């Protein structure tokens, strides 16, 4: 499993508002499409509140996290530590 985490320096960044938006989407259905409506777009929607955004690629999501959370790097989460 490969999980990337947005970070500022060596510390992970996130926000309660982003988490709340993600929780509110539990149970809702989207027309998932690998290119046009995917996990990057959903994650950007959680960040901004605009789930109809055009952030369909990781580089776009990275830009959104920089704008919204001040992230400056992405790191691999070592799932074996948890």
What is the per-residue pLDDT for 3? 86
Is residue 27 a contact partner of residue 21, using CB atoms and an 8 Å limit? no
Contact (CB, 8 A) for 31 and 10: no
What pLDDT sits at residue 81? 62
pLDDT for res 23: 97
> What are the 10-residue block averages of pLDDT along the chain, 82 residues in total?
88 95 94 89 96 94 96 87 59
How far is the CA of 73 from the CAs of 41, 48, 63, 66, 70, in angstroms?
19, 19, 10, 9, 9
Q: Looking at residue 17, what is its pLDDT?
A: 96
pLDDT on residue 1:
66
- Distance between CA atoms of 55 and 9, rounded to whole angstroms? 23
């Amino acid at each position: 499993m490969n999980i990337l985490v947005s970070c500022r320096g060596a510390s992970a960044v996130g926000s309660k508002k982003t988490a709340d938006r993600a929780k509110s989407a539990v149970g809702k259905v989207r027309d998932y499409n690998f290119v046009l409506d995917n996990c990057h777009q959903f994650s950007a929607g959680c960040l901004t509140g605009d789930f109809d955004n055009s952030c369909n690629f990781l580089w776009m999501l990275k830009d959104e996290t920089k704008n919204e959370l001040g992230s400056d790097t992405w790191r691999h989460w070592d799932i074996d530590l948890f």
